[in-house]
Chains A and B, each alone.
Chain A
Amino acid sequence: DGGITQSPKYLFRKEGQNVTLSCEQNLNHDAMYWYRQDPGQGLRLIYYSQIVNDFQKGDIAEGYSVSREKKESFPLTVTSAQKNPTAFYLCASRQRDGQTYGYTFGSGTRLTVV
């Protein structure tokens, strides 16, 4: 079955470290997205990519970086510049022209700073 796989499910980061969250999809979707979820704040867009080798900043991109070298993969790096990285991170994808179909979401990665 097609879907989105996020790994790891839980991730712990020490102060000053960079960590990378994986997102892989086998849905043949063009567009991929990273959201951050904090209690009471809903989902906030970090970065998105509509095609390979191209991506745009979302509303809260500072302290994060992404790459899109393959259609199937959209990893997110949380850098040491992100001062409050503890959150639940969700990856999503959809067809570029499929706005009527909504997003397909992964099961998320919970990142905790220790």
Chain B
Amino acid sequence: AQSVTQPDIHITVSEGASLELRCNYSYGATPYLFWYVQSPGQGLQLLLKYFSGDTLVQGIKGFEAEFKRSQSSFNLRKPSVHWSDAAEYFCAVGGGTGNQFYFGTGTSLTVIP
């Protein structure tokens, strides 16, 4: 069965510190992987995506993610967090024409000064 697990419900980091948000997936075919960010009361914005090629992908706002097939993981990282990064982050997996995506339950990020 297809699924996405985000083990950390909530993470708090200090501004300027590094960040890693975890994502593990289960998918029967070649996965297409995505990270989205959601500010309170808003829709989701695409941060980055992976579907082939280099396993380290760069996204917007200084985020990057690394696809590790052997670990079924797609962790999101940022070397130095800014206060404006405080939001909810969702990992998603999908693939194939017209197939739906599967979302994790999200990780809420708090940034302290």
Contact = CB atoms under 8 A, between A and B. Distances in A.
A99 B99 contact: yes
Contacts of B90: 42-43
Dominant secondary structure of chain B at its interface with chain A: loop
Interface stretch (A13-21, A66-74, A75-83, A103-111): A103-111
A88 B95 CA distance: 25
Contacts of A103: 44, 46, 101
Nearest to A101: B49
A102 interface: yes
Interface residues of B, number: 26
A45 B105 CA distance: 13
B41 interface: yes
Interface of B: 9, 32, 34, 36, 41-46, 49, 51, 90, 92, 94-101, 103-106
Contacts of B32: 99-100
B97 A97 contact: yes
Nearest to B96: A99
Interface residues of A, number: 29
B100 A40 contact: no
Contacts of A101: 49
A92 B44 CA distance: 9
Contacts of B103: 35, 42-43
Contacts of B105: 40-42
Given A90-B43, A100-B51, A106-B43, A42 B106 contact: yes
B98 A31 contact: yes
A100 B50 CA distance: 8
A110 B46 CA distance: 21
Interface in A1-50: 4, 6, 31, 33, 35, 40-43, 45, 48, 50
